[in-house]
Amino acid sequence: MKNNKGFSLIELLVVISIIGVLTTVLVMNFVGSRERARDAQKIQNLHSLKSALRMYYNDNQVYPLSINDLVSSYLPSLGDMAGVGYTQLSAGDAFRLTTTLEVGAGDEDVQSQKNCGIGATQDKVYAVCAN
């Protein structure tokens, strides 16, 4: 009689392959959640800029030509504004902010562009405007 006190090679290979598949799935989900978190931060920054632009307008009765002066005076803690597009509209009475998202916000990004009057909508671009 043979006394087996261990696992066979087949059993070990099956367990290792299951662990490998689970690890791959979890890592891919983790990477996607980080991208969605960065997108949410970009959207939040646009809304913070919108509030700062409204404060600037209340003080000066016109929106600024560039957001660089706005960030230094009204939002010094906002940080890097790379990737944010700013356009002054209607001779200083309106504005539009845009940013490119990594994953996209589903239908919310396209709807934001429609709300701001952007005719040819683009996927993964979020817009905020004076409305």
How does pLDDT run across 78-93, given as a tens digit for each residue? 666 778 888 888 888 8
Say yes or no to pLDDT of 72 above 80. Answer: no
pLDDT, residue 16, reads: 95
Give the pLDDT mean for 83-104.
Answer: 87
Give how many domains the chain has, as a whole number: 1
Provide DSSP, 1-54: -----S--HHHHHHHHHHHHHHHHHHHHHHHHHHHHHHHHHHHHHHHHHHHHHH
Range of 117's domain?
9-129
Give the pLDDT mean for 35-41.
Answer: 88
In a domain, 28, yes or no: yes
In a domain, 118, yes or no: yes
In a domain, 120, yes or no: yes
